[in-house]
Structure 1
Amino acid sequence: MTRVLDVARIQLVNWPALLAYPLAAAAALPLLGWGIDVSNGQTAVGDHEVYLLPMLLGVAATAHLQTMTQVFPFTLGLGVTRRRFAAATALVVVGQALFFGLLLVGFAAVERLTGGWGRQARIYGLGALRQDGPLTQWLAFTGPIVATSAVCVLAGVVFQRWRQSGIYLAVFTSVALLAAAGALATTQNWWRPIGSFLGDQPSLTLFAAYPLVLASALGGTAWLVLRRSTT
């Protein structure tokens, strides 16, 4: 466990990308939301939602792509095993997600206290993400961050193993599969049942349980590829 923590500390050398940049982005969202409201002519009135959280997910997760493409070769040169590196990466991903999940709970509380930043805007307290207590709210924020980070980890591992060709193939394959799934759902009239199924799910299941299951599957795939990756 000590060696795993040591490897995690090596990854945290990239703390600006892991912590500082996402923190700055989270703090800037209210100002960015104000700019969007102004551009839409909605400066002061009406309870409304501004969908900016996906941008924060992207900022928080991209650091793990750098971890796999830059830190991984360096640590292998230090004699770190792939298993320890994978365990340290999982630890950093979960730690970062829990930290920013808690941070978003705090921002959502400030948002409520300030009446939606003084203009009835909901940036953090989106209706779909609202929970009965701070713990469940924390989980609802944390789940998507873990899942997005897992996507970036897998992308970094694919690049490390197969370089640009692997990334292009992965992107094209993913787009093709999504397009085929969408076409199948359209021809079979599955969209309404899918919408009903998702609509009946508790928001905690949608934003915590399902993302964690997805992250586990992506993490397992990343480990299978990582075992054969070279510097």
Structure 2
Amino acid sequence: MNRILATARVQLAAWPSTLGMPWLVLGGAFLVNLMVFALINTSNEDAHTGGLVTFYVVVLVAYVVTMTQYFPMILGMSVTRRTFYLATCLMALVQSLGYGAVLTVLELVESATGGWGVSLPFFGVEFLQQSNVLLQLLAYAVPTLLVSSLGMFFGVTFKRWGVIGMYTLAIASLVVFGGLAVLVTWLRWWGAIGAWFADQSSLALLAGWPALLTLVLAAVNFLMLRRATP
């Protein structure tokens, strides 16, 4: 365990980029949206903003960088692949819970101030809102953990198979998802799929199913990392 914690601390050496960049980008998106809503002076309850998505995108990119740049450097310090991966997963879990806590506080402030005084639904997106603080934290933290795992997946794919692997992944994804869309359309299942999603609670869609997918990605990432070249 001490080895895992030490490896995690090495990864935190560049904390301004790994920890600070998501908040810097999110802060920029927030300020832009705040100015826009202040200028238009809207009270429309249907007004929405997708600025929070930028946070998850930057988190994903941060873990792509972790797997492509920190992986070879840390293995050069005689750290095993298993230790590196466990340290990275530990970081992802702790960061996701920390990020979720901060986002929850920001959502509470947003609700208390009527959308920062300009009816801006930036953090409290309707679909994300939960009935209590703990569930709200999970609604933010679990998707963050999922995109972290997805970033690891892309990074490990690149380390394992290089650019060819990334192109193959992109083409395979296009074929598989495109094929599924054609099949669902042919079988006229879109209504049934829409009804299934409608029957799910927002917490199940935000925390339950993403948590399951995260576990699958965690196993796949480790299997690929075992044969990845630093």
Q: TM-score, normalised by structure 2?
A: 0.94
Q: Does 1:44 align with 2:42?
A: yes
User: Displacement, 1:116?
Assistant: 0.7
Provide the secondary structure at the position in 2 that maps to 1:132.
coil
Counterpart position of 2:66: 67
* Equivalence for 1:88: 87
**Hey, what does 2:23 align to over in structure 1?**
23
Q: Counterparts of 1:230 and 1:212 in 2: how far apart (Å)?
A: 28
Aligned residues: 229
State, as a whole percentage, how many aligned pairs show the same letter: 34
Match of 1:174 in 2: 173
Shift of 1:193: 1.0
Is the 1:65–1:153 contact (alpha carbons within 8 Å) kept by the matching residues of 2? yes
Instruction: Tell me the equivalent position of 1:33.
Output: 33
Give the Cα separation in 1 of the matches to 2:132 and 2:82. Answer: 37
Give the unaligned 5+ runs of structure 1: none
Amino acid at match of 2:117: G
Task: Report the alpha carbon displacement of residue 97 of structure 1 after superposing the two structures with TM.
Answer: 0.9
Q: CA deviation at 1:123?
A: 1.2
Runs of 4+ in 1 over 6 A off after TM superposition: none
* Gap regions ≥5 residues in structure 2: none
Residues 100-119 of structure 1 mapped to structure 2, 5 A cutoff = 100-119=99-118
RMSD: 1.5
- 1:19 partner letter: L
- Give the corresponding residue for 1:8: 8
| Distance (whole Å) between structure 2 residues aligned to residue 164 and residue 30 of structure 1 | 34
Q: Say if 1:51 and 1:81 are closer, same or farther in 2 by CA, change over 3 A.
A: same
CA contact (8 A) 1:29 1:123 kept: no
- Partners of 1:34 and 1:43 within 8 A in 2: no
Query: 1:211 and 1:32 mapped to 2: Cα distance?
Result: 29
Contact 1:18 1:96 in 2 (8 A): no
CA distance in 2, matches of 1:82, 1:125: 39
Mapped to 2, the partners of 1:196 and 1:19 lie a distance apart of: 39
